[in-house]
Amino acid sequence: MNPSDRIFVALDTPDLDKALALAEGLRGLVGGVKLGKEFFTAQGPAGVNAVSALGVAVFLDLKFHDVPATVARAVRAALPLKPYMLDVHASGGEEMMRAAVDAVQESSPKPDSRRPLMLAVTVLTSLGDDDLFAAGVVDGAEEQVLRLARMAKKSGLDGVVCSALEAETLRAAMGPDFKLVTPGIRPAWAIADDQKRITAPADALAKGADYLVIGRPVTGADDPADAARRIADEIG
Ligand code: C5P
CB 62 within 8 A of CB 73: no
**What is the CATH number for 206?**
3.20.20.70
Q: Domain count of the chain?
A: 1
- From first to last of the 236 residues of the chain, give the pLDDT tens digit: 899 999 999 999 999 999 999 999 999 999 999 999 999 999 999 999 999 999 999 999 999 999 999 999 999 999 999 999 999 999 999 999 999 999 999 887 666 667 999 999 999 888 888 999 999 998 888 899 999 999 999 999 999 999 998 999 999 999 999 999 999 999 989 988 887 778 999 999 999 999 999 999 999 999 999 999 999 999 98
Query: What pLDDT score does 54 carry?
Result: 98
Q: Which domain does 151 fall in, by range?
A: 3-235
pTM for the predicted model, two decimal places: 0.95
Take atom 21 of ligand 1 and give the residue whose Cα is closest. 125
Query: What pLDDT score does 108 carry?
Result: 74
Query: Rounded to the nearest whole angstrom, what is the distance from the C-alpha of residue 106 to the centroid of ligand 1?
Result: 30
Query: What pLDDT score does 33 carry?
Result: 98
In one-letter notation, the amino acid at residue 80 is P
Beta-bridge partner residues of 161: 121, 181
Take atom 15 of ligand 1 and give the residue whose Cα is closest. 183
CB 232 within 8 A of CB 29: yes
Take atom 10 of ligand 1 and give the residue whose Cα is closest. 10
Q: Tally the residues of the chain.
A: 236
Helix (H, G, I), strand (E, B) or coil at 214: strand
Q: 179 an active-site residue?
A: no
Instruction: Give the angle subtended at the CA of 121 by the CAs of 204 and 86, to the nearest 5°.
Output: 95
How many C-beta atoms surround the C-beta of residue 134 within 10 A? Answer: 10
CB 12 within 8 A of CB 38: yes
Instruction: Give the angle subtended at the CA of 127 by the CAs of 213 and 175, to the nearest 5°.
Output: 55
Query: What pLDDT score does 10 carry?
Result: 98
Ligand 1 site, residue 213, Cβ cutoff 6 A? yes
How many C-beta atoms surround the C-beta of residue 203 within 10 A? Answer: 16
Query: What pLDDT score does 95 carry?
Result: 98
Helical H segments across 4-67, by residue range: 16-26, 37-52
